[in-house]
A = this chain, B = another copy of it.
Amino acid sequence: MLKIALIQQAYKKNQESTIKKTIELIQKAKKKGAKLVLLQELHQSRYFCINEDIKNFDIVTCFKKDVELWSKVAKKHEVVLVTSLFEKRAPGLYHNTAVVFEKDGSIAGKYRKMHIPDDPGFYEKFYFCEGDLGFNPIKTSVGNLGVLICWDQWYPEAARLMALKGADILIYPTAIGWFDEDSNEEKQRQLEAWITVQRGHAIANGLPLVAVNRVGFEKDDHNVLDGIRFWGNSFVVGPQGEFLAKASSDKEEIIICNIDLKKCEDVRRIWPFLRDRRIDSYQDLTKRFID
């Protein structure tokens, strides 16, 4: 059994207090026995992609310093830690990057978000270059972590490639929410679709899956939109897509959950989907569309 912690947070008034709170929550998670701690997407800052503004690149603190900070936190609390950072790689070249730290503070690996969204309120193509590290699980002392980020969660291809490369668990740091002006029915459909498509990846690959989302309302300071109400609902499912834990839609919370990584073996014995893939007939998956 692997004890994991999901930290679902709201952005505080500034980055400093947000980071301070995150560190407190990691400490709490450690006290509860978590060996693997998962943070939400871009947890250091507000979700600045809500509009396109050149000033927002100033939000990037020094990536090297960020890495040093979280390395220390992982080491101090002896936890494997999945962070989600705004990586400046060169002037004008930025990534949305998950850095995974080993419990001794060393870098276990990193993943640069491969699928980049761009729709009203989520202008990520302006801020982030798409990842160039591919889909590779990150080897740690608690297992091979199939870390993907937010928009990736809508893509069965990403989850499948992680599974084919031996991931033990799929992990999605996320920042997704509602627009208040949508109807309750539409909000419910969106939330349920987001949960369902990810449970589908767990099932199709016989793997446990974790999604960590932010909560709270963040205003659009350009006043084009009101803002985004991040919907929380961080959750954990097992390899049959069965719920192991689920957070609220509006509260900061730590979810502590035990995951049985051996259950993958049992489930894949009764549902041996990997055995029967028609790999001779999948070559068109690398096409944009087949017209």
Contacts and interface: CB of A to CB of B under 8 A. Distances in A.
Contacts of A290: 161, 164-166
A57 interface: no
Interface in A174-217: 189-190, 192-193, 196-201, 203-204
Interface residues of A, number: 56
A135 to B, nearest CB: 7
A271 to B, nearest CB: 7
Main secondary structure of the interface of A (DSSP, over half): helix
B200 A276 contact: no
A274 interface: yes
Contact of A154 (B204, B279, B286): B204
Interface in A104-140: 114-119, 130, 134-135
Interface-centre pick from A156, A158, A241 (highest chain B CB count, 10 A)? A156
14 contacts: A130-B278, A151-B276, A156-B157, A157-B278, A160-B285, A164-B284, A164-B287, A189-B240, A189-B241, A192-B240, A193-B203, A196-B196, A197-B200, A280-B286
Interface of A: 114-119, 130, 134-135, 151, 154-158, 160-161, 164-166, 189-190, 192-193, 196-201, 203-204, 240-242, 270-274, 276-291
